[in-house]
Chains A and B, each alone.
Chain A
């Protein structure tokens, strides 16, 4: 244990995860733009043989942004802020430092293996759970290491009370552990059959409707416990810290937490409306999705009220701009989702482009902006240098905001057009349009979506450049900033 005079927070592991957030962000979003372009211009499918087809690249896009960009961002911010709110440094425990580093390196090797396995065509074909069983085992080990690291740090904390962000991180750990284990239960066919077929192949232990139910219980709660819960953990720390304002109502944050935990796990069946699952389960999925507005907006309004009397910061500080827009996109996304889960709306929305439109206003606006803001706030404290350029953050913000708006508006129009065309019938009850008619009608919107992706991706490159310059050549800081992050014009 070190003496107090020399004691500082240790950001070694937070820095490592910061690098992978940037790396996987660029990789996952570049593939995203490419597959968006492939939908608009199908000949782009044949650039790289089997490795460049939409079907190979789509899971690489989703899994790289979820398990690469977002999970890295979650762990970068976790390893940064957990020390600060628990008032204990990782440098105080050699064991926890070792576990933290092992956590990172096993994650990094596992993530690379996962990307390669998908590129080679190994897939369990379950959405957001495509990894085959050997990769799943590595993911479970990585998750256990995070648990050891987190509960170990909680065990040696100086601050008795766990700040609300820690509640959300603990919930992320427990939620994903439960969901991932149950949904990925599978039997490796090579061993079960006595050596027939590929060693990588496996089949789910669930079948038919049960498999669909478990899959969407997992799939929707992957949205809950990766796209929502840990991102709320981040914003409850970074918005107050960057603005210098304590959370508007700590009590509201507590009851929003329990409200979210209580409701979210039951909303997954809205993915299976008009399918073979019991009707009551579909209805309850819709009802719970509507109720979900309350805890979601409870947190979002609490965060916006935190800025009460300090709205001038919105024009002065681009990090506050990112944080406030993140919270606003969270509100938009969490009203849109419940609307889509209403049975009569779902009849039009299901399987259409409106669904990826909804997902992307959430992940780009809410998760993306929050992650960028978090890392920008952390950079001057971790690297002891001011942020390289305020103008570049402003440019990134406006490019990406334009990209997000173009993305979701084009997908709203495309999705509703698609849904209406699929169900349109003539006076004799015959379908009016063939599938290819809808494809021709939607082409302009898919081009707009590609353009939107390019806008957002350019913003990611600007962010990466700004971060690298901050790490390497920005002006050094004599002391740690208290609230607003220092940045050069």
Chain B
């Protein structure tokens, strides 16, 4: 019968493979969605550059209370 230590080892390897697949799936998702024109990830880099309190957000937070959004 398989020992507990070996079972832990096999479980870790299986989990690693699954996580690798998820990670590569995420990379594919990033590049595909940009290629299809669904999303432009590079625009988020501007958040650090244009960061005054009066700057227009790259994407406005839709959950903000109306009063606050109106202030902008």
Contacts and interface: CB of A to CB of B under 8 A. Distances in A.
Interface stretch (A15-23, A151-159, A431-439, A453-461): A151-159
B37 interface: no
Contacts of A280: 5, 9, 12
Interface string B57-70: 11111101001110
Interface in B19-46: 19, 23, 26-27, 30-31, 34, 41-46
Interface in A224-241: 236-237, 240-241
Interface in A106-159: 156-159
Interface stretch (A84-92, A337-345, A419-427): A84-92
Contacts of B60: 158-160
Contacts of A444: none
A4 B41 CA distance: 29
Interface stretch (A191-199, A242-250, A318-326, A389-397): A242-250
A163 B42 contact: no
Interface of B is mostly: helix
Given A258-B26, A278-B9, A161 B49 contact: no
A3 B48 CA distance: 24
A258 B30 CA distance: 12
Given A160-B61, A251-B34, A284 B44 contact: no
A31 to B, nearest CB: 36
A85 B48 contact: yes
Interface string A146-180: 00000000001111110111000000000000000
A385 B58 CA distance: 29
A250 B54 contact: no
B27 A255 contact: yes
Contact of B30 (A241, A251, A262): A251
B35 to A, nearest CB: 11
B53 A254 contact: no
Contacts of A85: 47-48, 51
A244 B6 CA distance: 53
A45 B29 CA distance: 59
B64 A250 contact: no
Contacts of B30: 251, 254-255
Given A251-B42, A259-B23, A262-B19, A87 B48 contact: no
A9 interface: yes
Instruction: Name the residue in B51, B57, B72 with the highest tally of chain A Cβ atoms < 10 Å from its Cβ.
Output: B51
A1 B66 CA distance: 13
A9 B51 CA distance: 10
Given A160-B57, A254-B30, A259-B23, A241 B51 contact: yes
B44 to A, nearest CB: 5
Contact of A4 (B9, B43, B46, B71): B71
B71 A161 contact: no
Interface in A244-287: 244, 246-247, 249-251, 254-255, 258-259, 262, 266, 278, 280-281, 284
Given A8-B53, A89-B53, A255-B26, A249 B42 contact: yes
B47 A159 contact: yes
Of the candidates B41, B55, B67, B72, the one having the most CB atoms from chain A within 10 angstroms of its own CB is B41
Interface string A70-108: 000000000000011101110010000000000000000
A205 interface: no
A246 B46 contact: yes
Given A4-B71, A259-B23, A164 B44 contact: yes
Nearest to B6: A280
Contacts of A249: 42
Nearest to B69: A158
B43 to A, nearest CB: 8
Nearest to A7: B53
B31 A251 contact: yes
A156 B53 CA distance: 13
A163 B61 contact: no
A157 B55 CA distance: 13
A278 B58 CA distance: 50
A425 to B, nearest CB: 33
A85 B12 CA distance: 38
Contact of A161 (B23, B44, B54): B44
Interface of A: 1, 3-4, 7-9, 83-85, 87-89, 92, 156-161, 163-165, 236-237, 240-241, 244, 246-247, 249-251, 254-255, 258-259, 262, 266, 278, 280-281, 284, 480, 483
22 contacts: A4-B54, A4-B71, A87-B51, A87-B55, A92-B68, A158-B64, A160-B59, A161-B58, A163-B48, A165-B48, A237-B48, A241-B48, A246-B42, A246-B45, A250-B41, A250-B42, A250-B43, A255-B27, A258-B23, A262-B19, A262-B23, A284-B12
Interface of B: 5, 8-9, 12, 16, 19, 23, 26-27, 30-31, 34, 41-49, 51-55, 57-62, 64, 67-69, 71-72
